[in-house]
């Protein structure tokens, strides 16, 4: 009994010290001086973006930061970042979101935080078996779509006798594709339907193949389809100002686009460590394709996909934190 008192006092001192240290520790992330306030990361409605949200959240957490996730509209998010409700955006796709991004950038409050290595394309295309079956000779040249014998192979029960193109959710590209179909004089032969979700696009690929009918859908790269035999249609080249929203005639395809990052202007002040890491973050076409494939091919949850990607790619992301 006599000998245990110093031990007990020692234990109390150690525990008190730990409590004190941990109390201090949750006010600021250790090395960087980052605030313990959560970094707010948006999630949208396509797989790579959601997986990458958790990948980046995991990287920030590995640095001692707190994160929270918020499901956000993929156009309105730039205004939310500008006013500070959301901290970052990690997939600013030029074709779909360039206009909303630039509008917020010009108003102030949002910073352009640089580009990923990956370049992007967001446009209409078809699985290669459509060409192999001879359903529209002349593709990928868009002028093949002017042939009524092509369009008839893409008719569906809901398409009013015209060939159907399945566009993504309207929140991505607005009326861009219907406008383009009309501008190029294809409106008598083709109609555009909007899908309710990305999954509806992948379901259409499977259904069309099973039914042996042609299909043209909206798709993008980087994506899980990069290695799977998907071809984008060659529309007349994109030029600055060619779109109706920019005053053009709409007779153009989508750009060879950037994939940017953006942050709220206070982020480098509130979280200098995480902001520096985010500035360095750059993912390639194959990194992003793999993030999507873990969900859309391997059927993992977005969170599990992110954990696996982080575990398999430490040599890619650890350098961003240094
Ligand atoms: C924004 N997206 C990648 C679906 O085109």
Q: 22 pLDDT exceeds 60?
A: no
The CATH code of the domain that includes 105 is 3.40.190.10
Query: What is this structure's pTM?
Result: 0.90
CA of 64 to the centre of ligand 1 (A): 31
**Same domain for 98 and 52:** yes
Strands (E), 98-255: 110-115, 121-127, 163-167, 190-194, 216-221, 230-232
**Cβ(46) – ligand 1 distance below 6 Å:** yes
Q: 4 pLDDT exceeds 80?
A: no
Asked if residue 8 is part of any domain, the answer here is no
CA of 121 to the centre of ligand 1 (A): 9
**Cβ(93) – ligand 1 distance below 6 Å:** yes
**Cβ(233) – ligand 1 distance below 6 Å:** no
Q: Which domain holds residue 279?
A: 35-119+257-321
Q: At which of 180, 212, 246 does a domain end? A: 246
CA of 185 to the centre of ligand 1 (A): 26
CA of 127 to the centre of ligand 1 (A): 18
**Same domain for 242 and 132:** yes
**Same domain for 168 and 83:** no
**Same domain for 222 and 128:** yes
Q: 11 pLDDT exceeds 80?
A: no
Would you place residue 6 in the very low, low, confident or very high pLDDT band (cuts 50, 70, 90)?
A: low
Q: At which of 186, 211, 246 does a domain end? A: 246
Asked if residue 17 is part of any domain, the answer here is no
Tokens of 182: 């009309």
**Cβ(224) – ligand 1 distance below 6 Å:** no
Asked if residue 9 is part of any domain, the answer here is no
Q: pLDDT tens digits for 113-163?
A: 999 999 999 999 999 999 999 999 999 999 999 999 999 999 999 999 999
**Same domain for 277 and 228:** no
Q: Write the burial class of residue 153 (CB in 10 Å: 0-12 exposed, 13-18 middle, 19+ buried).
A: middle
**Same domain for 127 and 102:** no
**Cβ(122) – ligand 1 distance below 6 Å:** yes
CA of 108 to the centre of ligand 1 (A): 25
**Cβ(113) – ligand 1 distance below 6 Å:** no
Asked if residue 24 is part of any domain, the answer here is no
CB within 8 Å of 19: residues ≥ 6 apart: none
Q: Which atom of ligand 1 is nearest to the CA of 96?
A: 1
CA 168 centroid distance within chain: 13
**Cβ(96) – ligand 1 distance below 6 Å:** yes
**Same domain for 279 and 221:** no
**Same domain for 140 and 81:** no
Asked if residue 23 is part of any domain, the answer here is no
**Same domain for 50 and 127:** no
CA of 96 to the centre of ligand 1 (A): 7
Residue nearest to atom 3 of ligand 1 (CA): 220
User: Average pLDDT, whole number, for the chain?
Assistant: 93
CA of 23 to the centre of ligand 1 (A): 42
| Contact of 219 with 228, CB cutoff 8 Å | no
**Cβ(121) – ligand 1 distance below 6 Å:** no
Can you give the pLDDT at residue 161? 97
Asked if residue 299 is part of any domain, the answer here is yes
**Same domain for 207 and 145:** yes
Q: pLDDT tens digits for 247-293?
A: 999 999 999 999 999 999 999 999 999 999 999 999 999 999 999 99
**Same domain for 127 and 77:** no
Q: What distances in angstroms separate CA 52 from CA 16, 114, 156, 282, 296, one per listed residue? A: 39, 16, 35, 11, 14
């Amino acid at each position: 009994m006599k000998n245990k008192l110093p031990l007990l006092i020692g234990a109390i001192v150690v525990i008190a010290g730990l409590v004190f240290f941990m109390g201090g520790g949750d006010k600021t992330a250790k090395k960087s001086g980052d605030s313990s306030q959560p970094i707010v990361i948006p999630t949208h409605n396509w797989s790579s973006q959601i997986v990458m949200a958790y990948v980046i959240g995991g990287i920030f957490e590995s640095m001692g930061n707190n994160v929270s996730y918020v499901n956000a509209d993929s156009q309105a998010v730039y205004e939310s970042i500008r006013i500070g409700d959301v901290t970052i955006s990690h997939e600013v796709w030029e074709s779909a979101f360039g206009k909303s991004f630039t509008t917020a950038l010009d108003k102030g409050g949002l910073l352009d935080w640089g580009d990923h290595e990956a370049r992007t394309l967001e446009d209409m295309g078809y699985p290669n078996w459509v060409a192999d079956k001879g359903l529209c000779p002349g593709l990928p040249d868009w002028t093949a779509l002017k042939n009524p014998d092509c369009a008839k192979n893409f008719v569906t029960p809901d398409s009013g006798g015209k060939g159907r193109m399945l566009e993504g959710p309207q929140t991505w590209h607005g009326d861009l594709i219907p406008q383009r179909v009309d501008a190029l004089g294809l409106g008598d032969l083709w109609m555009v339907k909007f899908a309710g979700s990305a999954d509806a696009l992948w379901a259409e690929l499977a259904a069309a193949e099973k039914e042996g009918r042609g299909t043209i859908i909206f798709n993008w790269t980087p994506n899980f389809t990069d290695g799977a035999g998907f071809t984008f249609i060659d529309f007349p080249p994109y030029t600055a100002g060619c779109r109706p929203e920019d005053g053009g005639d709409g007779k153009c395809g989508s750009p060879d686009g950037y994939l940017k990052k953006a942050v709220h202007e206070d982020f480098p002040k509130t979280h200098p460590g995480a902001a520096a890491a985010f500035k360095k973050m750059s993912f390639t076409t194959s990194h992003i394709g793999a993030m999507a494939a873990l969900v859309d091919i391997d059927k993992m949850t977005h969170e599990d996909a992110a954990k696996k990607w982080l575990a398999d790619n430490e040599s890619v992301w650890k350098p961003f934190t240094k």
